[in-house]
Structures are given as C-alpha cells and as structure tokens.
C-alpha cells in the first residue's frame, strides 16, 4: 500500500513510519525537519504544517492509498497546528483524489467544545468514575489549548467528506510495542489510562484494512 505519513518524525509519527516500512508499505514522510529522518527508507517531503504550502502537500499525497497523520502541537508556540495543518492536508487530499484519512487525537477531546460541537457530552460514555471526576477534568485543564486545537481538527475531519477515522488514545507511554490493546467505537476505554505510542501506531495502521472504522472515532488503550 502507498501511504503518506504526516508529522512522521514526532513521537507517534515515527512509530507509524517505522512500522509501515517494516510491513512493506511504500511510504512518503511529511516532516518539518528532514534531517531527523536521515537513513529512513522512505520518500521525505519537507513541509511546515504551521504554514502549509498546498503544492508541497499535494506532491506528498498524490497517488497515496491513505494518509495517516500524527500532527499535533508539542509546544505552546505550535498551538493551532493540528487544525491548520489537517485542514491543509484535507484540501490536498481533495485536490488529488485521495480518500482514506486516519488522524491522531486524544481521549478527552470528546468532551471539549468546538465550533461544530459547542455543547459536547459532559462525560465520555466509556469513562469510569476516576476519569469522569478526576483524570479527564485535570487533563482538560492542563492541556486546554492543545485539546481545543484537536477538537477543531476533529470538526474539520468530520466535515471533510473523506473516508476518515479518528484515533483517541489516553496518556502515551514509551514502552515497547505489544500489539495487544483494547478499542471501542465512539467511546473511550473503561479503565484505559495509558497506551504505548508504538501500540497507537500499530492500531492506526491496522485500521487501514478495517472498513468498519470509516466515519468513526475510535477509543484505544492498553
């Protein structure tokens, strides 16, 4: 399969890239700093998704079977990059006729207001007592701007008209790949407090061959 991986040098993006190459996919990696992927067996396209260039993204996406994006802010100065960059990716996909899009979000985002969901549920239906009353409120307060950006990004994805899936994991760890995790359509995972980045990448790649995940937000956790 021919894949384009957006934000391929980040924490989760690098796992997506590495696993996709190991699985024999033909991969194009979209990164801001190409030298971070020196020696990688992938076609590399330099692009700053905080100021997207349509022609560059169309070049990176044209001919792909799917796009997988791990785009998200890692510093306060990058806030808004998930929405801006993903909107640019969507436009490039429309321009080039590529349909399948899988994006990385976060478990608390389902309860974060956005322009298209101004009154979201107060609690995610998959959250237990601890997450409802302690974990999720703490995370939303600490990462308020980041989650607001992801919520707007999700709005753009849902309105895209593409064959999309949204991955919503909880807290990341850097533990090794296990390939053993739980998932739920349209809700978080009860008691799912964390997951290795490598497992999130594995799950996003697995969704490529699962048509029942199209048009779904998917909770995933260890």
Whole-Å CA distances, 50 to 5, 69, 86, 106, 113: 16, 14, 10, 20, 22
145 pLDDT band (50/70/90 cuts)?
A: confident
138 pLDDT band (50/70/90 cuts)?
A: low
139 pLDDT band (50/70/90 cuts)?
A: low
Query: Rg for the chain (alpha carbons), in Å?
Result: 16
Domains and CATH numbers, the chain: 2-221 (3.40.50.720)
Average pLDDT of span 155-179 = 97
Whether the full predicted model's pTM is greater than 0.95, yes or no, is no
Average pLDDT, the chain: 92
For the chain, the distance separating the N- and C-terminal CA atoms, rounded to the nearest angstrom, is 27
| Four-CA torsion 123, 126, 127, 128, nearest 10 degrees | 120
Supply the pLDDT for residue 121. Answer: 87
Cα angle 80, 84, 90 (rounded to 5 degrees) comes to: 145
Indicate the DSSP class of residue 67. Answer: E
Supply the pLDDT for residue 125. Answer: 82
Supply the pLDDT for residue 137. Answer: 63
- Quickly count: other Cβ atoms within 10 Å of residue 33's Cβ: 9
Say how many residues make up the chain.
Answer: 222
């Amino acid at each position: 399969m021919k894949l384009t991986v957006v934000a391929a040098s980040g924490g989760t993006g690098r796992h997506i890239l590495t696993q996709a190459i190991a699985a024999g996919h033909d991969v194009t990696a979209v990164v801001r700093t190409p030298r971070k992927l020196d020696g990688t067996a992938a076609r590399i396209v330099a692009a700053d998704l905080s100021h997207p260039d349509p022609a560059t993204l169309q070049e990176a996406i044209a001919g792909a079977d799917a796009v997988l994006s791990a785009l998200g802010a890692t510093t306060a100065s990058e806030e808004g990059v998930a929405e801006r960059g993903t909107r640019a990716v969507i436009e490039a996909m429309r321009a080039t006729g590529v349909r399948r899009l899988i994006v990385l979000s976060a478990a608390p985002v389902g309860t974060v207001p956005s322009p298209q969901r101004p009154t979201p549920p107060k609690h995610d239906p998959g959250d237990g007592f601890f997450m409802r009353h302690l974990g999720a409120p703490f995370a939303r307060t600490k990462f308020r701007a980041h989650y607001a950006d992801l919520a707007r990004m999700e709005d753009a994805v849902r309105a895209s008209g593409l064959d999309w899936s949204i991955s919503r994991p909880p807290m990341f760890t850097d533990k090794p790949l296990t390939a053993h995790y739980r998932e739920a359509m349209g809700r978080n995972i009860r008691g799912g407090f964390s997951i290795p980045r490598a497992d999130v990448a594995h799950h996003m790649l697995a969704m490529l061959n699962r048509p029942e995940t199209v048009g779904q937000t998917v909770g995933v956790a260890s």
